[in-house]
Chains A and B, each alone.
Chain A
């Protein structure tokens, strides 16, 4: 069974979680070019590596950030937004 650790609710089966993708800061829509905006909307970074991702513990609706090595599928750490220390 795969496990994930929610910063509020502890370690639980992965079935209790939803993955909501890599954290991707949006470019400034007022100043960016059409190409930059299209790249943000349509393209995703598929290269393996350590990424920051949005995850949600669905029974409690706790949203948090997981730093995950997508090459090894290993979660390095998890924390709530704003608690990155």
Chain B
């Protein structure tokens, strides 16, 4: 592997990824794996496990959270357990009745705006230290069947449903998104469990022709 940078942010998956990484990059000041090897591109259409932890995110909860976000120009989903993808690619996740997670795309500033704005009455910031994963490929459903009791086939991108469930024993938030190459899944979990979740999913994905993929091979999925 090439020499690591001196990053100001480190992915929660770093310790698991470092022995396998072939090429590093720095996105949003987080050292991230650009490539694991020449097999990355072939893994993406089968069962690719990518790390999007570099994306900036912020959370709020409380009875005033939706109105506070709206005042910042961030639209919120109307239904509990659903999400919105804004025009600039920002994901707004509504988890339960009054809790929200906002995740920027690379270069976005909505999370920074939230963190810099004083919460009003009934708004409580939720620190986020998530490991953020993406599962791509036509075998992604099979991978979820082996690792989770929830049926991911029921997660339709058009319904914009969000599910909080348990995957290999780790509590995860999951959504399905439409990409240029088909549906893919996003997962968020507590960062301290991220390494275990990532390593386990990569091991299962390897049986399905996939495995870990770097940001270079993810291409637009990483940028959307």
Contact = CB atoms under 8 A, between A and B. Distances in A.
B171 interface: yes
B95 interface: yes
Contact of A1 (B97, B149, B150, B173): B149
Contacts of A70: none
A16 B169 CA distance: 8
B159 to A, nearest CB: 13
B147 interface: no
Contacts of B163: 9
A12 interface: yes
Interface residues of A, number: 12
B122 interface: no
Nearest to A58: B171
A41 B25 CA distance: 57
A46 interface: no
Contacts of A62: 96
B166 interface: yes
B164 interface: yes
A59 interface: yes
A61 to B, nearest CB: 8
Nearest to B163: A9
Nearest to A9: B164
B109 interface: no
Most buried by A among B96, B163, B164, B172: B164
Interface string A12-56: 110110000000000000000000000000000000000000000
Nearest to A14: B149
B32 to A, nearest CB: 26
Contacts of A8: 80-81, 96-97
A60 B164 contact: yes
Contacts of B81: 8-9
B96 A16 contact: no
A60 B166 contact: no
Given A12-B149, A59-B173, 9 more contacts: A8-B80, A9-B163, A9-B165, A13-B166, A15-B149, A16-B166, A57-B164, A59-B171, A60-B164
21 contacts: A1-B149, A8-B80, A8-B81, A8-B97, A9-B81, A9-B163, A12-B149, A13-B166, A15-B149, A16-B149, A16-B165, A16-B166, A57-B164, A58-B171, A59-B164, A59-B165, A59-B171, A59-B172, A59-B173, A60-B95, A60-B164
